[in-house]
């Protein structure tokens, strides 16, 4: 399988994030992607290719141009405004209740983008969980190019391609970033496939978290089906979307399938959910599937609370590959760094129909070389 990778992600150099208002060591760090890269290089069965530039067109086909402009200038605004901060996050958001009782026209006029960088961040973001630094926008743009280059490889005939995207994307909505995500790589890839092929596309999201951004972007779309297995939002981020009764509207009615799982979900429960998800995926009359691949479903993940083991990732990949659909596989989350390389290797080998061939150590410490 070909793997698309760009070192541009290293410039999105995040060391601290905030969780419930407290600074904590960052989870979404450069080491994650480097662990995966190193493990796939060591495997010997993957061919690395560099992304090609695709410009802004495929991005604004999915995202509000205002969001893209903000992300592009955000860090220079922090500097220009002299804000003494190592990274930019918001802490004030235009909660819809701020405008309760006001007409839609009044809200449209009043709820406009302010000038202060923190206010602008609040205007465009879901939360304070996507710290933005000098290298964030170039890295996010490179992650999109990684995804679109994986699309190119599959359109050119590859059975599957893997885009090692960082930062991840599935929490980014049309006009909103958040949750470590800035631009929605998977949604941009799905839209590009629809435009290139005229076919319907399915997105299979197997990150631990619900991909609220992907759901929102395609909510009324009949040509992109979104299917997600994730932690029940009653207990897990992003809290306000991801329930089973969210099924889409308009042309998209019935095209959104959420499968929330309980805390402690086992390999067996997960594979049952996967079978349900794959039934919905293969019911889409198209040839290509975009996979939002997360490993925060792993039993030792510091954010997740599922109980999956490395060998089940091979089986998940195998079942997804066995659908016979051509796969654009894009990296989302996964925060237990020692296992990331081996979990990715297991999943991707499964998707190719290769045996897992686990490392004797389970991968821990074997591929620990880290950059950034």
Cis (ω within 30 of 0) for the bond into 125?
A: no
Residue nearer to Zn ion on the CB measure, 209 or 345: 209
- Our finding on whether 209 is near Zn ion (CB under 5 A) is yes
In sequence order, the β-bridge partners of residue 201 are: 224
CB of 232 to Zn ion, least distance (A): 14
Cα–Cα distance between 346 and 343 in angstroms, integer? Answer: 5
In sequence order, the β-bridge partners of residue 289 are: 202, 327
CB of 117 to Zn ion, least distance (A): 27
Tell me, yes or no, if 314 is annotated catalytic: no
- Our finding on whether 208 is near Zn ion (CB under 5 A) is yes
CB of 332 to Zn ion, least distance (A): 6
At CA 65, angle to CA 60 and CA 70, rounded to 5?
Answer: 130
Interface segment toward Zn ion; rule CB under 5 A; list 44-52, 146-154, 157-165, 208-216: 208-216
Cis (ω within 30 of 0) for the bond into 154?
A: no
CB of 296 to Zn ion, least distance (A): 4
Pairing type for strands 22-25 and 16-19 reads antiparallel
Size of the site for Zn ion (CB under 5 A): 6
Nearest CA to 87 among 166, 182, 165, 169? 182
Residue nearer to Zn ion on the CB measure, 58 or 294: 294
Q: Pick one of 152, 191, 205, 207: the residue that binds Zn ion (CB under 5 A).
A: 207
- What dihedral angle (degrees, nearest 10) is formed by the CA atoms of 120, 124, 129, 133? -60
**For residue 54, how far is the Cα from the chain centroid?**
19
Residue nearer to Zn ion on the CB measure, 242 or 333: 333
Token couple for 181: 């995500």
Token couple for 42: 């060591």
- Kindly report the number of other CB atoms within 10 A of residue 26's CB atom: 19
- Our finding on whether 34 is near Zn ion (CB under 5 A) is no
Q: Mask of contacts with Zn ion, 280-319, x by CB under 5 A? A: --------------x-x-----------------------
- Residues 328-367 binding Zn ion (CB under 5 A) are 333
Q: Which of 9, 63, 170, 171 is catalytic?
A: 171
Residue nearer to Zn ion on the CB measure, 78 or 277: 277
Residue nearer to Zn ion on the CB measure, 154 or 277: 277
On whether the CB atoms of residues 148 and 192 are closer than 8 A, the answer is yes
- Our finding on whether 28 is near Zn ion (CB under 5 A) is no
CB crowding 303-329: b at 16 or more within 10 Å, else e:
bbbbbbbbebbbbbbbbbbebebbbbb
- What dihedral angle (degrees, nearest 10) is formed by the CA atoms of 178, 39, 351, 320? -30
CB of 179 to Zn ion, least distance (A): 8
- Residues 119-178 binding Zn ion (CB under 5 A) are none
CB of 307 to Zn ion, least distance (A): 16
- Residues 67-106 binding Zn ion (CB under 5 A) are none
Residue nearer to Zn ion on the CB measure, 30 or 284: 30
Residue with nearest beta carbon to Zn ion: 333
Active site residues: 171
Residues near Zn ion (CB under 5 A): 207-209, 294, 296, 333
């Amino acid at each position: 399988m070909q793997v698309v990778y760009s070192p541009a992600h290293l410039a999105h150099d995040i060391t601290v994030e905030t969780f419930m208002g407290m600074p904590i060591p960052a989870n979404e760090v450069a080491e994650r992607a480097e662990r995966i890269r190193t493990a796939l290089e060591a495997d010997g069965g993957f061919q690395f290719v560099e992304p090609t530039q695709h410009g802004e067109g495929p991005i604004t086909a999915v995202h509000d141009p205002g969001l893209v402009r903000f992300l592009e200038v955000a860090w220079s605004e922090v500097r220009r405004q002299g804000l003494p901060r190592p990274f930019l996050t918001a802490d004030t958001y235009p909660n819809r209740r701020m405008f309760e009782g006001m007409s839609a026209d009044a809200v449209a006029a009043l709820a406009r983008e302010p000038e202060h960088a923190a206010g602008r961040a609040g205007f465009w973001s879901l939360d304070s969980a996507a710290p933005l630094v000098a290298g964030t926008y170039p890295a996010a743009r490179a992650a999109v190019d990684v995804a679109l280059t994986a699309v190119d490889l599959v359109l050119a005939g590859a059975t599957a391609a893997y885009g090692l995207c960082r930062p991840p994307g599935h929490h980014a909505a049309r006009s909103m970033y958040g949750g470590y995500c800035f631009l929605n790589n998977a949604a941009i890839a799905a839209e590009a496939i629809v435009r290139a092929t005229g076919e319907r596309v399915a997105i299979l999201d197997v990150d631990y978290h619900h991909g609220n951004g992907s759901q929102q972007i395609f909510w009324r779309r009949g040509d992109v089906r979104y299917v997600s297995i994730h932690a029940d939002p009653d207990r897990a981020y992003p809290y306000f979307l991801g329930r089973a009764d969210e099924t889409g509207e308009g042309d998209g009615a019935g095209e959104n399938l959420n499968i929330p799982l309980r805390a402690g979900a086992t390999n067996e429960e997960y594979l049952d959910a996967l079978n349900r998800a794959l039934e919905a995926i293969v019911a889409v009359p198209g040839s290509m599937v975009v996979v939002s691949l997360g490993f925060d479903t792993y039993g030792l993940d510091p954010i997740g609370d599922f109980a999956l083991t490395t060998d089940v990732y091979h089986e998940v990949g195998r079942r997804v590959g066995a659908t016979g659909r051509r796969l654009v596989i894009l990296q989302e989350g996964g925060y237990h760094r020692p296992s990331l390389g081996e979990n990715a290797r297991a999943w991707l080998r499964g998707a190719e129909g290769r045996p897992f061939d686990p490392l004797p150590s389970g991968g821990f410490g074997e591929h620990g070389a880290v950059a950034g």
